[in-house]
Amino acid sequence: MINPLQKIITVSLSLFFFIACNNPVKNEIEIESLPKEIPFALVIHGGAGTIKKEYMTPEMETAYTNKLQEALDAGYQVLESGGTAILAVKKAINIMEDSPLFNAGKGAVFNSLGKQEMDASIMDGKTLNAGAVTGVSHIKNPINAAILVKDSTRHVMLSGFGAEEFAKQYDLKFEDESYFFTDKRYQQLLKAQGKEQALLEINTLNVELIDNHQYGTVGCVALDKDHNIAAGTSTGGMTNKKFGRIGDSPIIGAGTYANNLTCGVSCTGTGEYFMRTLAAHEVSNLIQYKNYDLKKALHQVIHIEIDSLGGDGGMISLDKNGNIAWNFNTSGMYRAYKKSTGENIVKLYEE
C-alpha cells in the first residue's frame, strides 16, 4: 500500500538520483568513492639453497622457470575466478608436488633407510584453522592430506601410518613407492651417505649430515578476493634424514603461518632454525606488535634471528593488502609471484 505522500517522496528521490547520477562531477566522485578493484595475489617458492646461474644448464633454468610459472598460473586462475586462497594454495602446490624438480611429492628426497617420508601443512588466515601431516609415504599430494586434517578433524597434526590410515577414509590419491622415486634424489642419498661415513669417522655424535645443496621444499601463500589469506608448505624433508626427524614444514608457526590480521608465510631451509625461532609466526608478530612492514619483518627473521643461530634458508610472504616480500640467506631461491595488478615475476638466483 503506497499513500500519495510516499509516492511524491519516491518520485522526488528518483528524480534527484537521476539528476545526481547524470552530473559528470558527481559521477566522478562516485567512481572515486567506490572500492578499488579487489586485489588478489599469490607467491610461491620451490626451495632455497645453492642456486647459482653457473651451476645451471639452460635446460634446467627453463624447466624450473616454466614449472614455477605453471604453478603460479594454476593458483592465480583459482583466485581470478573467485576461488578461495586455500584452493589456490592447493592447486599451486599440487603442480610442484607432481613435478620431480622439487623435493615434495614425486621427487621427494630419501631418508637414511632409502624411504621417502613427506610432510605438509596448511593454515587458513581467516579462522586460524590448520592441518598438517608428517612422515607420509604413499599420499600423492601431501598438501591435500593436510587440508583434509584441517577440514575433517578436530586435530592439527597427524603422523606416519596413522595419517595414511586417516587419509584412506577419503578420496585422496595414493601411489606406491615407484611413483615417488627419482634417480637424481637417490644419487643424492648415496652421495650424502658417503660423506656421512667420512664425517662419522671424525665425530660419532653427528647423527645427520646436512647437505646444503639439496633443499627443494615447496610453498605458497595466497590472498583471495574475499581478503582471506592462506599459506601452505610441502616437503620431502632432508636427504638421508634419520630417526623419524620432523622439520619445520609440518609445524604451524615454524614453516607455515597465516593470519588475516597480518600476513601469510611459507618457509624453506634448514628446518631446525625455523622451528627454534618460530619463523613464520615471528614474521606475523613483528607486523602485528611492532608495526613492521613485511620486508622489514622478513629481514629481521632471516638476517638477524636465523643468521645469528647459524641457520640458512628463505621465506615467502604476502600481507593483507596484497604486498609481497621474500628473503633468503642462501645463494638463491626458486620463487615467483603474480598479482591482480598485472605483475608476474619468476626468479631463481640472488640479485
Catalytic residue set:
217
Q: Smallest distance from the beta carbon of 331 to its own copies, in angstroms?
A: 21
Position 202 contacts its own copies (CB under 8 A): no
Position 222 contacts its own copies (CB under 8 A): no
Position 94 contacts its own copies (CB under 8 A): no
Q: DSSP letters of 150-214? A: HHHSS-SEEEHHHHHHHHHTTT--B--HHHH--HHHHHHHHHHHHHHHHHHHH-TT------TT-
Taking CB under 8 A as the binding criterion, the range among 35-43, 89-97, 207-215, 332-340 that sits at the site for its own copies is: 207-215
Buried b (16+ CB within 10 A) or exposed e, 313-328: bbbbbbbbebbbbbbb
Cα gap 69→264, rounded to integer Å: 20
Position 115 contacts its own copies (CB under 8 A): no
Buried b (16+ CB within 10 A) or exposed e, 337-350: bbbbeeeeebbbee
CB 265 within 8 Å of CB 223: no
Among 140, 185, 281, 338, binds its own copies (CB under 8 A): 281
Position 215 contacts its own copies (CB under 8 A): no
Task: Name which of 93 and 283 has its Cβ closer to its own copies.
Answer: 283
Q: Smallest distance from the beta carbon of 168 to its own copies, in angstroms?
A: 10
Task: Name which of 93 and 157 has its Cβ closer to its own copies.
Answer: 157
Position 3 contacts its own copies (CB under 8 A): no
Task: Name which of 71 and 133 has its Cβ closer to its own copies.
Answer: 133
Position 285 contacts its own copies (CB under 8 A): yes
Position 193 contacts its own copies (CB under 8 A): no
Q: Is 182 exposed, middle or buried (0-12, 13-18, 19+ CB in 10 A)?
A: middle
Q: Which residues, 6 or more positions from 51, have their beta carbon under 8 angstroms from its beta carbon?
A: 330, 331, 332, 333, 334, 348, 349
Coil, strand, or helix at residue 62? helix
Within 10 A of 276 (CB to CB), how many other CB atoms are there? 14
Among 28, 162, 179, 344, binds its own copies (CB under 8 A): 162
Give how far Cα 88 sits from Cα of 92, 124, 235, Å.
Answer: 6, 12, 18
Footprint of its own copies on residues 120-139 (CB under 8 A)?
A: 128-130, 134-135
Among 28, 61, 165, 350, binds its own copies (CB under 8 A): 165
Q: Which residues, 6 or more positions from 151, have their beta carbon under 8 angstroms from its beta carbon?
A: 129, 131
Position 212 contacts its own copies (CB under 8 A): no
Site string for its own copies, 21-60 (x = CB under 8 A): ----------------------------------------
Binding site for its own copies (CB under 8 A): 128-130, 134-135, 152-163, 165-166, 205-208, 210, 242-247, 251-254, 257, 271-272, 275-278, 281-282, 285-286, 289-290, 309
